[in-house]
Structure 1
Amino acid sequence: MQQILLAINAGSSSIKFQAFATDGDRFDRRVSGLLEGIGSQPRLVIRDGGNTVLATRELDIAAVPSVEAGEAIVGDWLTGAMATDAIGGPIAAIGHRVVHGGPDFSSAVRIDDAVLARITALTHLAPLHQPKNLAPILAWRRRRPDLPQVACFDTAFHRGHGELADRFAIPDELYREGVRRYGFHGISYEFIAEKLQEVAPSIAAGRVIVAHLGNGCSLCALRGGRSIDSTMSFTALDGIPMGTRPGALDPGIVLYLMREKAMDAAAIERFLYHQCGLKGLSGISNDVRVLEASDDRLARLALDHFVYRITKEIGALAAVLGGIDALVFTAGIGENGADIRARIVAGSAWLGLSLDEGANRARRTDLGAGTSGPRVLMIPTDEEWMIARHTRRLLAIA
């Protein structure tokens, strides 16, 4: 008997969702939706399993100032008559992306009052994301208190890291308190690791660097399909530059902001999460497409810096792995940014990476130009599919 699972992926400025009919290991996508541009230019697009548009709405920023407000719009649609017809049955369970699982959660869990309290207590480690992840959980608890809900953690995939990768050079008692490198985007990396077994089985068990490049960005080193190291760490601020976050930052800069700019913790938090990265460096936008279309010097600088830092970290992860068998691009920029991909590969040519320009422009899976040496791949991620699969397994839904 088929059951309907809903997967919700609430990010910092978007809500993605998919509804699947599942029967055993088969997942039939019935509906997919995206509410993007929250807080700037909100737009909702919903499609059926055949990619036909069911609904599209351009929304006013005042109507959708936050992810919490966006959740109400998405929830209203999902509980309406059109959704019921498109999905083809009642929702049996909901799986949610939750960014930070802290030291407590190493796998997906069913949400109850105790789990919800522990997730909420981790908000200080992911203040940009955790409240957004919690919003749909709380809303669906109000709508359907009887409906099973599951939390799938972005940090869980990285919990197998060795101690050397997870430690900071700080006193041991802080490590035991949970101050350690966690890594994020784990649901996406887990999907890519499994997809590699299908699209490139010869390298799935090898040394792979995955570049998850979206509004949030990170790199992950995989060996044998398992996470060995990642550029993000204690929070989602670390690593490579992102849309509005700086990536790796000298801690002395935080001290400087406190002493010289008289900024308190709340002001520094807003600054680091919302005013840095591509947006802060360019002074224009956090959107790569906008920056690529601009003639402004700082727009070019922001993109140059973005590519430089990614290339630098690819080299570092290649050293950790002792070489590289493949580089995989995924997520919004990774899947759609042909110029960014080309520049990163060119900067990593010393590792033996090369790109076929035609394949790159055509967005093929295999982007490499050479017949030997490391592969260059583009694999679209599907975090919602992975969330649905974890939800089915955890709840033992047939």
Structure 2
Amino acid sequence: MSLPGGERILTVNAGSSSIRIGLFTGHPEHEAPTPRARGKLDGIGIRPRLQVVLADGTHLFDQTFPAEQVADMQAAFRLVDLALANGLRGEQPALISHRVVHGGGLFSAPVRVDRPVLDQLRAFEPLAPLHQPYNLAPIQAVLDDMPELPQVACFDTAFHAGRDELSQLFALPYPLYEQGIRRYGFHGLSFEYVSLRLAEVAPEIARGKVVIAHLGSGSSLCGIEGGRSVEVTTGFSALDGLPMGSRCGALDPGVLLHLLARGEDARSLEELLYRRSGLLGISGVSSDMLALRASQEPHARLAIDHYAYRIAQEVGRLAVSLGGLDALVFTAGIGEKDAELRAQVVERLAPLFDLRLDADANRRNAERISSADSARSLLVIATDEESMLARHAWRLYRDGRSLG
């Protein structure tokens, strides 16, 4: 059994100003597709730059474009698709897999996307305004240009869908829970990939009680036992939990009532909570950790310290939900590369969990950064959401569910 067009799978991870793509080949006898190329187009609408690298390290593209040529996400996707087709001798993907942040209560597994499904997914845009509209724009572009091409949506909320009701509840009237106002959780594709990778590199740890810290411009933690999501720091929207690059994280709802009473409206609050808070809001400098590290502004340091403080607090909360802690795993851009932040977090947690950091391994961003005398393991595992997107889409096809 083979897909038409040579089993090529295109993965699409679209954000507000960038789009990450991957090209994979699915083999009937393999569960995990083979990567062929990866790329990123960033600076959409400002200074678009497309970079594509083949799996062997060969640079296929590195080109900038006029802003008006790539003014929005649909134009960006069409450019990426054209560049791949031209660079790979006209080969076209047979299947496209998209990251979609919010599946709500309707979608707890990857699904083939047609126009009715796309309409259902648009209903969740208010719950993830920084992500959902941009996730859906490339899907719309394909439906407009190549409606016969199968597309799969993979949801960041799906990995958390089987959690206990206790974990999903807010202390609001129960009928609201039944209407879908509940704690969904996000970054599920990243957590799922890292948990699978952990099972490969340290199966004895993967069977235990593990907290994975996905730390980037969006940040959250997940408590996992035996590869299954037990608890997560994000909730109904992608605002909850940890402070992030420009998002506030957990917030006393009384603050919102106070601001509403002062004359703020829903639109201005959305702007405040999603785009002017988090590391950017505290520092007044930037949402980028590298810029904060380089800054001499005192509030830049305060923002970093608060971030580390909240991460450590949430690790403790998830350990309670898990009934213990066997390992802490760092992933995503900050988690994988910022040794100083990892050290700050571990220092706060050390008295509770008897953690010991191998300073040299941590400095090198090694896979295992705990010392030999640490009571619990500390690891750094690179995430790969694109591989997870390809795997889910390929599994849908191999399981025999129709993509035609």
Question: How far is 1:396 from its partner?
Answer: 2.6
**Number of the residue aligned with 1:146:** 148
Matched to 2:256, the amino acid is V
Runs of 4+ in 1 over 6 A off after TM superposition: 60-63
Residues 1:46 and 2:47 aligned together? no
**Number of the residue aligned with 1:31:** 37
8 A contact 1:30–1:86 mirrored in 2: no
Question: How far is 1:318 from its partner?
Answer: 1.1
2:47 and 2:380 map into 1 onto residues whose CA distance is: 28
Distance 1:64 1:301, change over 3 A: farther
8 A contact 1:45–1:55 mirrored in 2: yes
1:236 and 1:70 map into 2 onto residues whose CA distance is: 21
Distance 1:341 1:37, change over 3 A: farther
Instruction: State the number of aligned residues.
Output: 393
Matched to 2:24, the amino acid is F
**Number of the residue aligned with 1:341:** 342
1:226-247 Cα distance to aligned partner (Å, 9 max, x none)? 0000000000000000000000
Moved more, 55-64 or 3-12: 55-64
**Number of the residue aligned with 2:238:** 236
Q: Which runs of 5+ in 1 are unaligned?
A: none
Moved more, 226-235 or 319-328: 319-328
**Number of the residue aligned with 1:327:** 328
Task: Provide TM-score, normalisation by structure 1.
Answer: 0.94
Distance 1:167 1:344, change over 3 A: same
Moved more, 121-130 or 222-231: 121-130
**Number of the residue aligned with 1:123:** 125
1:81-123 Cα distance to aligned partner (Å, 9 max, x none)? x544437732100000111111111100001122111111111
Question: How far is 1:14 from its partner?
Answer: 2.6
Question: How far is 1:345 from its partner?
Answer: 1.3
Distance 1:17 1:254, change over 3 A: same
Q: Secondary structure at the match of 1:191?
A: helix
Q: Which runs of 5+ in 2 are unaligned?
A: none
Of 77, 80, 85, 2:80 maps to 77
Matched to 1:306, the amino acid is Y
8 A contact 1:15–1:71 mirrored in 2: no
Matched to 1:73, the amino acid is A
**Number of the residue aligned with 1:293:** 294
Question: How far is 1:57 from its partner?
Answer: 3.2
Identity, in percent, stands at 48
1:119-148 Cα distance to aligned partner (Å, 9 max, x none)? 111112112211011011111222211100
Question: How far is 1:40 from its partner?
Answer: 6.8
Of 8, 14, 19, 1:10 maps to 14
8 A contact 2:41–2:80 mirrored in 1: no
8 A contact 1:155–1:185 mirrored in 2: yes
1:234 and 1:265 map into 2 onto residues whose CA distance is: 17
Matched to 2:291, the amino acid is V
Matched to 1:340, the amino acid is L
2:156 and 2:89 map into 1 onto residues whose CA distance is: 27
Please give the root-mean-square deviation of Cα atoms over the aligned residues, in Å. 1.9
1:70 and 1:151 map into 2 onto residues whose CA distance is: 17
8 A contact 1:4–1:87 mirrored in 2: no
1:54 and 1:341 map into 2 onto residues whose CA distance is: 35
Distance 1:46 1:216, change over 3 A: same
